[in-house]
Structure 1
């Protein structure tokens, strides 16, 4: 009996750094821009490559676990995760850090399915398994929630690489525990391993993302960027067609014929886009516009993230009393109202009001995520539940990745359009200052005339604040339209599961 709880402790410890790494870098964006001299696009790649690679690799790593046994899989995953953490901490350039983050995601994509398999195999009693899964979910959400807070503390007192170095002692301790306490499982060498399909899908996603990020810079490489993005779309179309014809597809796209499942997937993706994108926006604005330290920024946004991780009981209580249609519409609709409210409040003079809206936003997004799961699982049979769960997991990871992309690109475009610079500056200097607020600060620091430097900083901060307001109004409007779509698309009598 005691060994069960030792195994659960190991599962929690190995899952914690995986969930932390999804958000721990958000408050580090200004620091990374300064320390590594990163371009705006490189910063976006550093943040979102983790979620994008995870989205493409989770399914094949789950199949690999069946072939190798999940003990072997988790040992390999932990070693890769530990080495990648060290490589990330020692990175001396943006490209090196991007590569390290991609390697981190590969290790994480091995650890994640192994944790779920470990719970299924260790806890055969239904009540114990439910409790273990509840702890697993709490660690996942809480880790992502406190990531900015831990990142802020480490950046306040140590070198930025410390946000990765904290993974290493955990990995070493868990590795020892896994070797001695987790039994080996039977292997299924006949289990197909769709690695080729996964790599193909990952390449198509990265091509589309590259096309989006580079194309929206509107520079001389616009045609090349459009071609790259268009190539990705063509390859993705071919992938979907081939999967639809496959007898053993990696992703069962036939399930999207069920409208309720399709709506649930949209809810999951949009919820993650808004949550992750907004957190990234806030982490930058608080530090760059309001001069918060990384730790103070992490503390300021803590009510949002903590409410999103403790909202499960509230969402569950509502789910037992109202229909899924009402629950989903309420979650997305309340998120829309929160974004509209945040676009008009003053973050410095109305702090408590901001925190109240943060709490409401976290709760409403949690309700939306529960609605997504209920929608997806309500329309599939038990035999289809694994395939449906895989679709939901990919929607979560892609939503997190695209949240960084969409919000990041909107910040860049609206900021560049709104910044009003002095005509005394040369065109080359103005162009550099328009690239990003961090670039504007560098220009200001290199200007020999202090008054002119102060004008540049003031103009950059004002432009970023204007971008903040425009983005939140746009997000609120999109969520309002989605609320209408959900209300009209979901049947009234559909039950929560």
Structure 2
């Protein structure tokens, strides 16, 4: 039994940089924009590409884990992740950084399903597995939540490249420990990989998100064509998966209401976690003038709450079962988002922290209860594939969180900004596109006009942020009803 917990320690150690890298750049937006002269679109891709690549590749990497064993998959993924971290640390252009972040996503797509399969194969007792998943969930959610604080601390004392260099010693340690302490597993040598289908899925997702993002500020016929091609690829991918005898996605798993509902929960919870952090980090720095470290410290209660939520959820799951715990988690998310929508983060900080604590606990409840349900609903032989589907939901949620929250914020910001009449017409479009562009563009203007434009941008951003949070609250309220109606009772869950 002691060895099982040693293996868990290795698993969470390699999972930690994967989860941190999903959010560590959230507070670095102003710094990176200045250092690499990034446009707002390039900045979103720097953040977004990591999760989107993971989402598209994580399923075939799960199949690869079944074929070669989670130990080998973890070793290969760790090696790729380490090399990509070095590439990102020394990138000096937007293209190089986006490419390095994409490469990081490839390594992470191998690591994540390997860690879940490692937990499933190491802890065969359900209650012990739930506690182990509680630790795993704390590291995953806590790492993603603490990413902004770590990023803020690094930017306060070091250059931005250090954000990626901190991964390297962790990777080296893991590469030493895994061959020594982690046992070999039985493998399925005939497991299909479906790499071409994975590339089609990634291409479809990227084309759809690119066309939607770009159309906000540069709508033209090319964006329509890219959207149509991306949609066609996605439809073709789904039709192929339904017809083929060896699909990349095992749709038979989705017939289980526990798995299908849990995937929805995981995706929506990650949309909330990542999207909220990104928007709050921008508001604190752009509107209220916080430094990256100060912004990270402001979000600290949210981070602590996520860490507490993991073990807390494990206890609740073992005593009350999935349905009531998951439903309460969704309701708590709804209440906290609606409360945050009506809170001024600068003048009512204590109130904001209370709502963030509630949301942190509830998001972790949603994430961990969905993970525990999926892992308990499949056999050990299906663990890697199920873990890959769960991981895809996580990462697709993270990518969509950035895309959806960013898209809604941009729409509401553009609609609500009221600019002074004496602002030169050639600057109106840029100032109206985003708060980052507005602050950069107005620097050469005379002081009175510059302050007036900045104030208009601040008010528009706050209004847009409040609307996005309100919509999120309503979404979670609807989801809580859906979860209660679709999940079975505790006694119906498969062990």
Fold conserved between structures, TM > 0.5: yes
Partner of 1:451: 448
Q: Does 1:475 align with 2:472?
A: yes
Any residues of structure 2 matched to 1:366-445 within 5 Å, and which? 366-373=364-371, 376=374, 387-445=385-443
Q: Which residue of 2 aligns with 1:226?
A: 224
Match of 1:196 in 2: 196
Match of 1:17 in 2: 17
Cα distance in 1 between the residues matched to 2:2 and 2:331: 46
Quick one: which of 294, 297, 307 aligns to 2:295? Answer: 297
Corresponding residue SS for 2:248: coil
Distance 2:4 2:251 in 1: 37
Structure-2 change in CA distance of 1:121 and 1:85 (3 Å): same
CA offset digits 1:226-280 (Å, max 9, x no partner): 3222222222222222212222222122333445543332222111111111111
- Root mean square deviation of aligned Cα: 3.0
Report the TM-score when normalising by structure 1.
0.89
Q: Shift of the alpha carbon at 1:325?
A: 4.2
Could you say what secondary structure the match of 2:138 adopts? helix
How many residues matched? 494
8 Å contact from structure 2 (residues 139, 307) kept in 1: no
State how far apart, in whole Å, the 1-side matches of 2:332 and 2:152 are. Answer: 29
The residue correspondences of 1:19-168 to structure 2 (distance < 5 A) are 19-118=19-118, 133-168=133-168
Higher relative contact order (CA 8 A, sep 6+): 2
Question: Equivalent of 1:363, from 335, 353, 361?
Answer: 361
Q: Displacement, 1:407?
A: 0.5
Point out the more displaced range, 285-294 or 119-128.
119-128
How many Å apart are 1:164 and its aligned residue?
0.7
Q: 1:295 to 1:216 in 2, by over 3 A?
A: same
Moved more, 70-79 or 343-352: 70-79
Residue 328 of structure 1 contacts residue 371 of structure 1 at CA under 8 Å; is this kept in 2? yes
Contact 1:285 1:465 survives alignment (8 Å): yes
Alpha-carbon distance in 2 for matches of 1:120, 1:234: 36
* Cα deviations by residue, 1:287-331 (Å, 9 ceiling, x for unpaired): 111111111111111211221231134334444555644433322
Distance 1:150 1:413, change over 3 A: same
Paired with 1:349 and 1:9, the residues of 2 have a C-alpha distance of 41
How far is 1:365 from its partner?
A: 1.8
Once the two structures are TM-superposed, the CA of residue 475 in structure 1 deviates from its matched residue by: 1.3
* 1:265 equivalent in structure 2: 263
Q: Which runs of 5+ in 1 are unaligned?
A: none
TM-score with structure 2 setting the length: 0.90
Give me the whole-angstrom Cα distance separating, in 1, the residues matched to 2:318 and 2:126: 20
Contact 1:15/1:112 (8 A) holds in 2: yes
Q: How does 1:182-331 map to 2 (within 5 A)?
A: 189-217=189-217, 219-221=218-220, 223-320=221-318, 322=320, 324-331=322-329
Q: Any gaps of 5 or more consecutive residues in structure 2? A: none
Query: For residues 321 and 169 of structure 2, what CA distance do their matches in structure 1 show?
Result: 46
Distance 1:120 1:385 in 2: 6
Aligned residue for 2:245, secondary structure, equals coil
The CA deviation string for residues 449-470 of structure 1, in whole angstroms up to 9 with x for no partner, is: 1111111211111111111111
